[in-house]
């Protein structure tokens, strides 16, 4: 650690700058979104039951619980 | 007579409602602000008739949930003190705001109404006395729970409070020396003067070191991250492990109220209180000679608005710190309090004294 890092206060301010930057950037995007800019997104969240992620047409995954009886499959 | 009682009642109610409602709102602010800082959305599901209002109903839903929960009391707990502790915690956090002025004097119907819940000539001492008495509730909670982990948490809270309290007391002496008063209202008035004719003489400009020291110690006295060793809910277990329901909620509430008090004190001592730059009793008087006359009521409203805005900005800043910094270890917090904040506060007092000796005519 150099002197600036040992002193800690300067690092506190750089950390606060980072988080405050995120806050104001996201806040600006939220405001732009509510003013009609639909492409501006302030968060990465997809609110699942209301919003669905657009999936690739050839996606092969199944959103389903596999109910195979593994022990029976093993004996066969 | 009745009018006098009504005025006093109104002053107290204004401060009380301001602090209580802001305290309730802070639970929402904390969740939403942290979410936006972390690229999330935050609580937004509570709704009344489909109306969501950015999750503003979540504090309401939380309160209903906490009131409806089981009120658990451990078998070996001290019955009386266990119930008293959360009330003590909240009470002292609530009354601490009383002597912080939120405006100058309101002239109405031939009366002069000081915009302050209680006019005290030792307002600074009163606020810090109440703020430090709050730790009794915490210690009571830790001891009366009949749980060793809670006792240790209460002990950590007491140790942290002492080291923070010393630094708070020593760091504001510089401010008191510069403005020459212990009365928060006269400190706020003195900050309306101008330095060299154009810079507002706010505490943050005359006492920048004291501002940093006071803010650090003030955050420590609210027992929130980065100084949350007394609580440490998820890992090291704090003084309120055994509390549930609204009693737990009252401890959380006390932390928010203390945050408001620290923001209010920082505003009153360092950010000019209710002062608006260049606004005097008759309107604006700009240093370049322009003037703008305003009726007294508008001036008062501007002052109250300025005070509320400053408090809200300070709360935003305190929340920003709370959601940015990691927790200090117990020994690190102690070392910061005793070996950094306290000696620096003493150095600040000496430095302020020297500067005052040179600049102020004897």
| pLDDT score of B12 more than 80 | yes
CA distance B260 to chain A (A): 20
Q: Strand B194-195 and strand B199-200: pairing?
A: antiparallel
pLDDT digits (tens, 9 = 90+) for B77-129: 888 999 999 999 999 998 988 889 888 888 777 777 888 888 888 888 899 88
Least confidently predicted of A21-30, A54-63, B31-40, B243-252: A54-63
> What is the pLDDT, as a whole number, of residue B349?
94
Classified as helix, coil or strand, B191 is coil
Q: Which residue has the higher pLDDT, B72 or B197?
A: B72
Return the closest-CA partner of residue B279 out of B269, B293, B265.
Answer: B293
Distance between CA atoms of B164 and B259, rounded to whole angstroms? 14
Residue A2's Cβ-count burial label (10 Å; 0-12, 13-18, 19+) is exposed
Least confidently predicted of A15-29, B171-185, B219-233, B295-309: B219-233
Cβ contacts (< 8 Å) between B324 and chain A: which residues?
12, 15-16, 18-19
Supply the Cα-derived Rg of chain B in whole angstroms: 22
Tally of structural domains, chain B: 1
CA distance A43 to chain B (A): 5
> What is the pLDDT, as a whole number, of residue A73?
63
Q: Which residue has the higher pLDDT, B186 or A38?
A: B186
CA distance A58 to chain B (A): 30
Classified as helix, coil or strand, B238 is coil
> What is the pLDDT, as a whole number, of residue B114?
81
| pLDDT score of B57 more than 80 | yes
Question: By residue range, what is the domain housing residue B317?
Answer: 2-359
Banded pLDDT at B362 (limits 50, 70, 90)? low
Banded pLDDT at A19 (limits 50, 70, 90)? very high
| pLDDT score of B37 more than 70 | yes
Among A15, A20, A43, beta carbon nearest to B325: A15
> What is the pLDDT, as a whole number, of residue B119?
83
Banded pLDDT at B310 (limits 50, 70, 90)? very high
Q: Which residue has the higher pLDDT, B110 or B188?
A: B188
pTM for the model stands at 0.89
| pLDDT score of B4 more than 90 | no
Task: List residues of chain B with CB under 8 Å from any CB of chain A.
Answer: 33, 35-41, 212, 320-321, 323-325
């Amino acid at each position: 650690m150099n002197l600036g890092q040992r002193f800690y206060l300067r690092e506190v301010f750089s950390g606060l700058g980072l988080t405050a930057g995120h806050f104001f950037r996201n806040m600006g995007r939220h405001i732009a979104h509510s003013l009609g800019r639909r492409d501006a997104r302030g968060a990465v969240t997809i609110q699942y039951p209301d919003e669905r992620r657009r999936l690739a047409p050839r996606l092969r995954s199944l959103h389903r619980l596999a109910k195979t009886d593994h022990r029976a499959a093993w004996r066969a | 007579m009745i009018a006098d009682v009504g005025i006093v009642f109104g002053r107290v109610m204004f401060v009380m409602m301001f602090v209580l409602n802001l305290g309730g709102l802070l639970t929402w602010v904390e969740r939403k602000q942290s979410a936006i800082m972390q690229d999330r959305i935050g609580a937004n599901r509570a709704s009344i008739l489909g109306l969501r209002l950015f999750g503003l109903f979540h504090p309401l839903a939380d309160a209903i949930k906490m009131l409806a929960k089981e009120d658990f009391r451990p078998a070996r707990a001290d019955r009386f003190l266990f119930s008293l502790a959360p009330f003590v915690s909240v009470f002292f956090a609530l009354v601490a705001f009383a002597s912080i002025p939120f405006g100058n004097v309101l002239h109405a119907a031939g009366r002069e109404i000081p915009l302050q819940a209680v006019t005290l000539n030792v307002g600074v001492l009163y606020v810090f006395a109440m703020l430090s008495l709050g730790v009794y509730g915490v210690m009571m909670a830790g001891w009366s729970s009949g749980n060793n982990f809670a006792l240790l948490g209460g002990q950590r809270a007491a140790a942290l409070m002492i080291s923070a309290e010393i630094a708070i007391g020593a760091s504001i002496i510089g401010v008191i020396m510069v403005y020459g008063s212990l009365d928060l209202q006269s400190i706020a008035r003195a900050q309306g003067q101008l330095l060299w004719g154009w810079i507002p003489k706010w505490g943050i400009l005359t006492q920048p070191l004291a501002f940093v020291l006071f803010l650090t110690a003030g955050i420590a006295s609210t027992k929130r991250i980065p100084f949350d060793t007394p609580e440490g809910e998820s890992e090291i277990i704090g003084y309120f492990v055994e509390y549930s329901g609204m009693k737990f909620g009252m401890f959380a509430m006390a932390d928010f109220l203390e945050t408001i008090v620290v923001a209010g004190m920082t505003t009153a001592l360092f950010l000019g209180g209710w002062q608006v730059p260049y606004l005097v009793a008759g309107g604006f008087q700009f240093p370049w000679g322009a003037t703008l006359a305003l009726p007294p009521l508008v001036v008062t409203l501007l002052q109250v608005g300025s005070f509320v805005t400053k408090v809200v900005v300070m709360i935003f800043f305190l929340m920003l710190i709370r959601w940015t910094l990691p927790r200090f270890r117990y020994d690190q917090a102690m070392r910061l309090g005793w070996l950094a904040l306290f000696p620096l506060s003493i150095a600040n007092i000496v430095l302020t004294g020297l500067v005052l000796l040179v600049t102020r005519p004897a």
